[in-house]
Amino acid sequence: MLVKMEAYFDGEYWCARGIGEDIFTQGESLDELVENIKEAVSLHFEEELDKGSLLNILILSETEVRGVAKVATG
């Protein structure tokens, strides 16, 4: 089973919410968020995991790139 999560930085914390699933978690760092996502998904799908199902998590994120300027060519 593939679980899709959307990750974003809200200005203070890294947050993630399930796409099509009622899952939400956050962390102070991106590494902490990934660990919290694993835990939240495991808890949400606890019955499926107990039955031997394998879960894969896909984390989707948008990254804003600021300050793009024209590059001089010569």
Per-residue model confidence (pLDDT) at position 62:
82
pTM of the model: 0.83
Confidence (pLDDT) at 66 = 85
The pLDDT score that the predictor gives to residue 45 is: 97
Please give the radius of gyration of the chain, using alpha carbons only, rounded to the nearest integer. Answer: 16
The structural domains of the chain, ordered by start, are 2-61 (3.30.160)
Q: What is the pLDDT of residues 19-45, one digit of tens each?
A: 999 999 999 999 999 999 999 999 999
**Extended beta strands in the chain, E state:** 2-9, 14-18, 24-27, 56-61
Joined tokens for residue 30: 């991106």
